[in-house]
Amino acid sequence: MRRIVAALVLFALIAGAGALTGLVLSEGERGSAVTPSIRPASPEEAASAASQALSDGELPGSSGVERAGGADEGLPGAGVDELLPSDRAAGSGGAEPSPEALPRLTPQMTEPAAGAEPVVAVAEALSPSVVLVEIESSSEFGFGLGSGIVWDADNGYIVTNQHVVEGAATVGIVLSDGARLEGEVIGGSTAHDVAVVRVDPAAAELTAAPFAPASSVRVGQLAVAIGSPLGLAGTVTAGIVSAVRIQVQGGADPTSPVPVEMIQTDAAINRGNSGGALADSQGRVIGMNTMIQTTTGGSIGLGFAVPSDTVDLIATRIVGGESLELGYLGIEGGAGDGDLGVRVTKVLPGSPAEEAGLLAGDVIISIDSEPMYDIYELSAAIKLRRPGEPVELTVTRRGEIYIVTAILDSLG
C-alpha cells in the first residue's frame, strides 16, 4: 500500500536558464570525535524499536498513501521532464535544524475563527513576504520568471528554487508593493533545489515569512499557494495537503535526480510558481512550491513542495558558508520485514556502513530515531545530512536489536 510512483514524472515550475551550479562553500563536519560502532540496544531502546515495528506503520501525520516505488511503476500518461522553457520568453505572463537555525517558527497570525475566510486571512498575512523573481541569462531563452520567499528581512535574504536562478546573469526582485530590487545569488543546492538570493535590506521594507515546522503538517489540512504563475505576481490558490513525506526523484538537475522529501498538494500551481510559498491556515510557510506532475503542461492537482525544515536547513548552510555536499552511507537495500524498515542487501566495501559494522541482512528501522519505511526514504534522509556527520541507526539482526553509529562520507 505504501508504494506510489518511483519515477514521478515531474515538471519544474519555472523558467530558469543556464548552468550556475550549487556551491560547495566549505568542508563538512569531518573530524568528529564520534567513531563508528555497533552495540546491542538497551532495554529501553529495544522496547521503543519493538513498538515501532508492531505499530501500523504510519508516521504521525502521514497520509497512508503509497511512497515511492519501483522504477517500472510510473503513472500512465505522465508527461516528460522538462524545465518549462515557454515561460522564459520575454513578456510571458533529516536532519532537524537546530532551534537557532529556525528563528521564524512563530505564527504570523492566529487561527481564523470558524466561519471566517481563512484563505483571505492567509493571503493578506503572507503575500507581502512572497516576491516575483526575474532572471536574465545568456541562454537561448534569455528571460525567466519565478517566485521567492523573504526568509531573513534584516539581512535581505530571499529563498527560491535553484532551478529558478540557474545561469542567471542578473536577478531582479519585485516585492508585493511593486518595488524593484537588484538581487545577488549567494549560493544554491542543486540536489535539494534550494537557493538564496540577497537584496539590499535598506533599499526597501522587507517582511520575513514565518516558517512552520514540517512536523506540524497534516494530510487534509488547508494549503494555500502564493506565487507568480506565468508572471502573474501575487496569485493565490488553495487546496489541501494531499500527502506528506512523499519521496520523489527531485533536485534542480533532471539528469541527476536525488531522492528528496516533498509535501504533495492539490492547490493549483503552474509555471512561475517555483520558489513560492505553500502555507498553512496560520499563514506560516510549510513548503516551497517546486514541481508538478502533469499530463497537459499545466496543473492537474499534483504539486510538490520542498518542506519548510529542508528549505530553512539548506538556506542556513548557504548563508553560513557551510558544505552542501551530500551524505553517503554505502548500502544497497530493499523492503524490510513487514511494513517498517529497510533490509540491507549489500554493504559496499570501504563504505561508512562497513566501517560501522552493518551486514547484509540487517534491517534498518530508524535513523536518529526517525522511522524508515523504504530505501528511498532512507536515501533522502542520508542525503540531507553532510559528510562527516554521525548518524545513529537502529537495526534488527537475527531477532536482536542493535544501535549502529556510522560516520557519513561524501558521494565523491
Q: What is the mean pLDDT of each run of 10 residues along the chain (412 residues)?
A: 34 35 31 79 82 50 30 26 30 36 42 70 97 84 88 98 92 96 96 96 96 94 96 95 84 82 95 96 97 88 95 96 92 80 94 96 93 89 92 93 94 70
CB 302 within 8 A of CB 260: no
> What confidence score (pLDDT) does residue 8 get?
36
> What confidence score (pLDDT) does residue 116 get?
74
> What confidence score (pLDDT) does residue 212 get?
96
Q: Which residues of 222-231 are buried (b: 16+ CB within 10 A; e: fewer)?
A: bbbbbbbbbb
Report, as residue numbers or ranges, the catalytic residues: 163, 193, 274
Rounded CA separation 269/14 (Å): 11
* Cα end-to-end distance, the chain, whole Å: 35
- As assigned by CATH, the class of the 37-62+326-410 domain is mainly beta
CB 232 within 8 A of CB 272: yes
Label residue 196 left, alpha or beta by phi (over 0 means left) and psi (-120 to 50 means alpha).
beta
> What confidence score (pLDDT) does residue 92 get?
30
Could you give the residue range(s) of every CATH 2.40.10.120 domain in the chain?
1-26+63-325
Q: Which residues of 340-357 are buried (b: 16+ CB within 10 A; e: fewer)?
A: bbbbbeebeeebbbbbbb
Rounded CA separation 209/121 (Å): 14
H-run or E-run covering 181: strand 180-189
Strand partners, 306: 288
Which residues make Cβ contacts (< 8 Å) with residue 364, sequence separation at least 6? 333, 336, 341, 342, 344, 358, 372, 378, 393, 394, 395
Using CA of residue 333, residue 79, residue 288, residue 274, what is the dihedral sign?
positive
> What confidence score (pLDDT) does residue 198 get?
98
Rounded CA separation 337/111 (Å): 42
Label residue 301 left, alpha or beta by phi (over 0 means left) and psi (-120 to 50 means alpha).
left
CB 38 within 8 A of CB 404: yes
Label residue 245 left, alpha or beta by phi (over 0 means left) and psi (-120 to 50 means alpha).
left
CB 259 within 8 A of CB 246: no
Rounded CA separation 69/71 (Å): 7
Could you give the residue range(s) of every CATH 2.30.42.10 domain in the chain?
37-62+326-410
> What confidence score (pLDDT) does residue 253 get?
82
179-184 LR contacts (CB < 8 Å, sep 24+): 179/203, 179/204, 183/133, 183/158
> What confidence score (pLDDT) does residue 33 get?
76
CATH of domain 1-26+63-325: 2.40.10.120
Rounded CA separation 228/289 (Å): 11
Strand partners, 258: 250
Grid cell at residue 78: 505522465
Using CA of residue 29, residue 30, residue 35, residue 41, what is the dihedral sign?
positive
> What confidence score (pLDDT) does residue 55 get?
58
> What confidence score (pLDDT) does residue 139 get?
64
> What confidence score (pLDDT) does residue 337 get?
65
Rounded CA separation 13/88 (Å): 11
